[in-house]
Structure 1
């Protein structure tokens, strides 16, 4: 049986795009990778650099190109847009990056086909919502990177706090990829042991203050990294690679990506992150988390923030 070739187009070769392309090449998840950027020299340089490592990894076709070279792409990943600056929130980027992503969407639509589009540009939730409106593609085909990275940050912070293997930590962040996101503490566990019991066994206070401090570390992680190195790139590159892997391998993995949430938990028509089943068809199911009253209220507050920004942009 012949294995189907897989083609991925990456739009935007800044720090995030380059980190994602590198992670993708190491895992060799696709047969063909096309890099597209307004700075053509940058795209060509990254493609050359990646190709030079292939003799140590394995065969893969990596090229720099134009939009027309993206024809036939199974997956399109968008990382293009203005960078978040020190002291700037993700939502401050809204107007600039909405124009950028809308323009990209128009160019992608001209190519025909129906690729799965993954958006990583910020503010990712509003941009995902915008793409759903602009493209008319089925909602399972438009995926925002959402809180996949935030959930990973929460797991890492809990692992460090409790001195346990991060792979044993099961916890997720939902809502906006931004300052109103929330951790689902009520369902978090360490290999099926509820957090409050594991904290007690480790002699660490499991208080409201402790949880608030951990969540603030997660929410503020990007700001701290930007302050030190100018941008976040490596972890979001890995997060994007994880989403692509779930699609390519039809894993049915549960990841907290951003998509339309109308009706879920009684939410309005917004895009935000909830646990979703990801497979070869993109988002195959949206799962309603078991939230307590406090978490449900926080989720609705997060949705209000995103709804207001969508309204300000005339998207609803």
Structure 2
């Protein structure tokens, strides 16, 4: 096995999400080398060239198209490869197609590199994170998914809009599946330490139940709306990928709602889903307790059961 180069990233899959993620990573200045891999080598070459031409405006970096041998020393391997979500299709509709693709891709990664952090971005991300863990033989702290990092950003953005406050001052999580059974964890949501309902009332909002339902539904349906309007979502997730890479490369120990293997977390085990987790140079260093009310607990268990049934159907 090659010695890991901490300044090298690999992006596998150069569709909309992979290409946008590669661009966001180039802009971040976190890495000095990035290899792009796609089943269509010319697509990867074109993306590498296009992004490289902007380097005079950014930081020095070597960006090129390659094959699996080229990822042997990569520190972070970002897997976006898979069939995209079509209009009207749920994320879980994709599962069988994409598990099949992973059965081809993941063993090829593990064959050349056992020491990287593998970040799964392809959908349905929770099932594919579980599949990647099983197929790769990686320790579970080093294979995890982007999970509800983007959903949580959407949640904060919409709450910021609703309350006319900077979304970075909003502390709230979407947990569970990245998809239709996701849970808005309202009971722990706050704005700079002020409970969410109290802050709403400070801003003249009193119809909490109505607003909660509307905002949570908007978060859940954001991707469907964007896909309907422009065919695919990629900028938001690319910025989420960049954020997760920052946490890893800088060993930030940032708390992010990534999709990781659960162990008796709120009674949930042996499934990958999103809970707040500490992310640093070793990947997921542990999950963080989150206070949930009875309805949220029930919804979280239901979300886990939904994912487990999909996993068992795909016979992983």
Aligned to 1:110: 111
Indicate conservation of the 8 Å contact 1:9/1:70, yes or no.
yes
Matched, 1:98 2:99: yes
3-state DSSP class of the match of 2:214?
A: helix
Q: Distance in 1 between matches of 2:236 and 2:208?
A: 29
Matched, 1:47 2:58: no
Aligned to 2:294: 293
Displacement of 1:243 in angstroms is 0.5
Aligned to 1:303: 304
Indicate conservation of the 8 Å contact 2:6/2:74, yes or no.
no
Aligned to 2:225: 224
Q: Distance in 2 between matches of 1:137 and 1:56?
A: 37
3-state DSSP class of the match of 2:255?
A: strand
Aligned to 2:30: 29
Displacement of 1:5 in angstroms is 4.7
Indicate conservation of the 8 Å contact 1:125/1:272, yes or no.
yes
3-state DSSP class of the match of 2:9?
A: strand
Aligned to 2:132: 131
**1:155-210 CA-partner distances (Å, limit 9, x unpaired):** 00101111111111111100000000001111111111111111111111242222
Indicate conservation of the 8 Å contact 2:6/2:75, yes or no.
no
Q: Distance in 1 between matches of 2:289 and 2:189?
A: 15
Indicate conservation of the 8 Å contact 1:72/1:113, yes or no.
no
Aligned to 2:177: 176
Indicate conservation of the 8 Å contact 2:6/2:249, yes or no.
no
Q: Distance in 2 between matches of 1:73 and 1:197?
A: 47
- The normalised TM-score by structure 2 is 0.97
Q: Distance in 1 between matches of 2:6 and 2:121?
A: 24
**1:254-310 CA-partner distances (Å, limit 9, x unpaired):** 000001113111113111000000000000111121111111111001001001101
Measured on the aligned residues, the alpha-carbon RMSD in Å equals 1.0
Indicate conservation of the 8 Å contact 2:251/2:280, yes or no.
yes
Indicate conservation of the 8 Å contact 2:187/2:292, yes or no.
yes
Structure 1 consecutive aligned stretches of length 4 or more whose deviation exceeds 2 Å? none
Q: Distance in 2 between matches of 1:131 and 1:27?
A: 26
With 53-62 and 243-252 compared, the bigger mean Cα shift is at 53-62
3-state DSSP class of the match of 1:9?
A: strand
**Unpaired segments ≥5 residues, structure 2:** none
Aligned to 1:193: 194
Q: Distance in 2 between matches of 1:171 and 1:112?
A: 36
Aligned to 1:260: 261
1:309/1:280 Cα in 2 relative to 1: closer, same or farther (>3 Å)? same
**1:54-82 CA-partner distances (Å, limit 9, x unpaired):** 11112111111111111111111000111
Q: Distance in 1 between matches of 2:207 and 2:255?
A: 27
**Unpaired segments ≥5 residues, structure 1:** none
**1:74-122 CA-partner distances (Å, limit 9, x unpaired):** 1110001111011100000000000112211111111143211000000
